[in-house]
Amino acid sequence: MEKLEIHICTKTKCTNRTVEVKVRTDEAEPGVYNGLELLTAVRELVAERQLGDVAEVREVTCMSSCPVGPRADLMQDAKRVRYIKRHWPTGRPDFVTWLSIDSIEDEIQKWLGESLLPEGEGS
């Protein structure tokens, strides 16, 4: 299995807009992030969870078909899901709205699987 790639757009269009999202599962309330802040927060999460061997966070400056930002793409093997700021679901499994996820940490965990949860967590 290939490494999980997390691409976060820091193009001006994404950096000038914000999104409310929980980065960590245990956060009480979502934070407000622009593209650069989201990149920093996700890099810190991956470092804290020591996921560097299985996940890599990359800064990108332009991703095509980016209607609204900030945007992140999670990719592994041949699968790719785009996380975008939008009020209503798209109905497509490969375009997910930030409002529809619990946290970025949960999304990363879904991609990586239960085997990477620290001992004592999960069911």
Distance CA 99, CA 55 (A): 23
Give Cβ neighbours of residue 115 (< 8 Å, ≥ 6 apart).
Answer: none
Question: What's the confidence (pLDDT) of residue 115?
Answer: 44
89 or 116, higher pLDDT: 89
Question: What's the confidence (pLDDT) of residue 68?
Answer: 67
Q: What would the mean pLDDT of 6-14 be, rounded to a whole number? A: 82
Q: Where are the domains of the chain?
A: 4-113
Distance CA 80, CA 31 (A): 25
Instruction: With a cut of 90, say whether residue 93 has pLDDT above it.
Output: no
C-alpha distances in angstroms, 62 versus 9, 58, 88, 99, 111? 6, 12, 23, 22, 23
Q: What would the mean pLDDT of 61-75 be, rounded to a whole number? A: 75
- Element (DSSP H or E) covering residue 6: strand 4-9
Encode pLDDT of 19-65 as tens digits. Answer: 899 999 999 999 999 889 999 999 999 999 999 999 999 998 875 55
pTM (2 decimals)?
0.84
Distance CA 113, CA 97 (A): 21
Instruction: With a cut of 50, say whether residue 18 has pLDDT above it.
Output: yes
Q: Please tell me whether residue 42 adopts helix, strand or coil conformation.
A: helix
